[in-house]
Structure 1
């Protein structure tokens, strides 16, 4: 039976097999065939969805069973696919790589929860007959994961492709593509992975266009669509942001930082704020010399302020506006890079000085899921609220936390971040999807400022 929401997952045998550009190229190539593609990414990744958005001209969205909760994954997929006729989900790491030693929040877990067929990307650069054993292992490892096709990547020649196809014929999984080694299938990387599209829009767009052209030529797109059409039933439940938050009882205006320095955002967070009746406006701290007018709150997400520290430090006019807004008591939420912007300094460059801390770049990567408890009552409400989120950074602050920390990290028994009467700042990116009380808390704090007529 053909599903009412055709969908397919592009997963890999491991990280680095080329999933992101192949997924973005597939999205764009299917869009060029007239399909209304809706893009998704497994896991908490902020960067890859930017490439998906370029390819599909729709916001990239994340599906994370740990942060959002397993029961919300299918409804989130249904919500994010509204108006589309085909969904493409890019996996994370290797197909079965999940949280710790389990496959929780893995691509395989998401595929099972959504009954989405999987196309496996195999890096064939240094292999021939051995790919048969590799495909066989992934096909049989978990019978509830529907491995429906294979795309070989980095194929060297026609002869190499023939050997790969001959080997794969021994396993009952069809080959739907053999993508050659292409210099055009490459984008620059930095200390946290690919350079975000907000910073490298033109080169990223060129890479996505090249990937679309290559996928149309070297992948059997009708076969991919046929696989997507055989996805299992998803269910009718849809995530509705308006049902997750409490409507505001007066006009509330919240500004969200965007641009190259602060590009880490989840689409659904903004949807929650807007669904409650607040007005969300955007500003770019690298380009705008003033805040939007009439604000009652501020949300500064993550990104790469360490790359743009000189520019941020030099924007004195905007800095004065943000400090003035903070002085009114308006709530300010700052995650990761946003927190660095609020510090006294970042790599010796003066920042906003709203937090008693200095920040600096390090060689150590801090990466992983976090379970945390709200440690201090403030912007998000009363202390004690438990959340799930993640960290993703190569910077550090001194001190690591204030006497009034933002969170207690449950699995590490440590204090994290800074909390004042109207500022909540930390390295943790919590999921408002899984814990909509966070959106409610920010909205309530902003509404109180609106009531005062500040």
Structure 2
């Protein structure tokens, strides 16, 4: 154990707005700290996200954890942070959007709220494109906007030339008195390709090591690592209150066996969700939907999100697994599917004017569109009987999808009434068929602790032949 509650060095990487370079700066910083300073760094990501965390996990060798003020209580955030940082030299939280951007005018769920909850200093990444002296009032405003949020340093991104840098530094020194902890030239290659939901997941890149070496080299040359470490270490005590973070468990040797689709097509899983299933007594077996040609003898199936449309030709080609899943569902196999998993269970996916056959277990088609159909937090109320949630329950989650369902069989039931977000049709989400619940809504186990116990209980019933 490297830390106690009061000595966890920590910082938050924030920005005045999205697309300022937070993710590339964070990845470069973490790579430099891990590989050049030989530090153990625990990464965190503010908000619901799967893609950025895949990169932060890759570069640190430690599962990135999400912290979200809309989905989680402050006590849960603090407990998770402490629990997962105790054996690290320091912790870094990558923010989202602008520092003070939240779900309402009070900034609820913002990166700033996470910084306040963790008593963590913020390093502000500023895109300085077409900006000189104006950097001072911009940064000054962020410094003074919330007295409980400490802006401890600035990283200047996309700096044009030496004269540009000199003017930026002079303005910040004269008017703000804040240290510049990095200067990234405009022509420096610190970028990662995008896809329609954000960065390409780390697991899909075959040239990762070269890209990460370049990011690390840029970080070492452009960032003041000593200054950044000094900021992270100059933090007040952080006390844990009420509840502890979930302790990972391995499940009972004799517990029900839950299959999890985990491959390049289905990679969107919070580590807490998988740990929660194990803690509830399940054994997990991972299934590659691209290459495993049949379903193993599992007691339940969990299919998370991802990019099934990108890998649709390979999913279609694996007809053995698709048919195996369809037959198992007909026999009553409990299945919990989120977003990409929902899409896989339908008849076909149409993307870029081509259609690909999917599982066919549920009677609907999926159409991919260029514009997002659902993007942000989703709140639903359970209104119909289903395998996993009691009626009346309110579930907070999130959705990220460019797809919509078409040709939906009118006989299917919907478990959820959408209170916030889009879901399947703006009003409903959570298709129910036999022991299947398939929704666009992604949940996080720390905000929905009964979910894992319900899935494992349903798997146990199926295992022993008890009717659903």
Which TM-score applies when normalising by structure 2?
Answer: 0.91
1:418 equivalenced with 2:431 (yes/no): yes
**Selected match of 1:217 from 221, 224, 238:** 221
**Selected match of 1:392 from 396, 400, 407:** 400
Q: 1:341 to 1:2 in 2, by over 3 A?
A: closer
1:350 equivalenced with 2:354 (yes/no): no
1:194 equivalenced with 2:202 (yes/no): no
- Aligned partner of 1:372 in structure 2 is 380
1:313 equivalenced with 2:316 (yes/no): yes
- What is the rounded CA distance, in whole Å, between the counterparts of 1:123 and 1:51 in structure 2? 22
**Selected match of 2:88 from 84, 94, 97:** 84
- What is the rounded CA distance, in whole Å, between the counterparts of 1:78 and 1:451 in structure 2? 39
- What is the rounded CA distance, in whole Å, between the counterparts of 2:199 and 2:245 in structure 1? 32
- What is the rounded CA distance, in whole Å, between the counterparts of 1:274 and 1:321 in structure 2? 25
8 Å CA contact 1:54, 1:208 repeated in 2: no
- Aligned partner of 1:232 in structure 2 is 236
8 Å CA contact 1:248, 1:444 repeated in 2: no
Q: 1:453 to 1:281 in 2, by over 3 A?
A: farther
8 Å CA contact 2:188, 2:218 repeated in 1: no
1:407 equivalenced with 2:412 (yes/no): no
- What is the rounded CA distance, in whole Å, between the counterparts of 1:339 and 1:415 in structure 2? 14
- Aligned partner of 2:454 in structure 1 is 441
Runs of 4+ in structure 1 deviating by more than 6 angstroms, as ranges, are: none
1:432 equivalenced with 2:436 (yes/no): no
Deviates more, 1:429-438 or 1:6-15: 429-438
**Selected match of 2:368 from 354, 361, 365:** 361
8 Å CA contact 2:412, 2:433 repeated in 1: no
Q: What secondary structure is seen at the aligned counterpart in 2 of 1:162?
A: helix
- What is the rounded CA distance, in whole Å, between the counterparts of 1:344 and 1:453 in structure 2? 29
Give the superposed CA RMSD.
2.2
By how many angstroms is 1:242 displaced?
A: 5.2
- What is the rounded CA distance, in whole Å, between the counterparts of 2:387 and 2:403 in structure 1? 24
By how many angstroms is 1:309 displaced?
A: 1.4
- What is the rounded CA distance, in whole Å, between the counterparts of 1:294 and 1:72 in structure 2? 36
- What is the rounded CA distance, in whole Å, between the counterparts of 2:277 and 2:368 in structure 1? 32
- What is the rounded CA distance, in whole Å, between the counterparts of 2:362 and 2:106 in structure 1? 38
Q: For 1:114-166, what per-residue CA distance to the aligned partner results, in whole angstroms no more than 9, with x for missing partners?
A: 11110000011221111111110110111111111100011122222211111
Q: What secondary structure is seen at the aligned counterpart in 2 of 1:177?
A: strand
- Aligned partner of 1:55 in structure 2 is 59
1:132 equivalenced with 2:136 (yes/no): yes
**What is the 5 A alignment of 1:142-157?**
142-157=146-161
- What is the rounded CA distance, in whole Å, between the counterparts of 2:365 and 2:255 in structure 1? 36
8 Å CA contact 2:103, 2:109 repeated in 1: yes
8 Å CA contact 1:250, 1:447 repeated in 2: no
- What is the rounded CA distance, in whole Å, between the counterparts of 1:105 and 1:37 in structure 2? 24
**What is the 5 A alignment of 1:239-318?**
239-241=244-246, 250-291=254-295, 293-318=296-321
- What is the rounded CA distance, in whole Å, between the counterparts of 2:375 and 2:6 in structure 1? 37
8 Å CA contact 1:7, 1:86 repeated in 2: yes
- Aligned partner of 1:34 in structure 2 is 38
Which TM-score applies when normalising by structure 1?
Answer: 0.94
**What is the 5 A alignment of 1:329-340?**
329-340=332-343
Q: 1:180 to 1:317 in 2, by over 3 A?
A: same
By how many angstroms is 1:278 displaced?
A: 1.2
In structure 1, list runs of 5 or more residues that go unmatched. none
Q: What secondary structure is seen at the aligned counterpart in 1 of 2:14?
A: strand
- Aligned partner of 2:22 in structure 1 is 19
8 Å CA contact 2:26, 2:94 repeated in 1: yes
- Aligned partner of 1:176 in structure 2 is 181
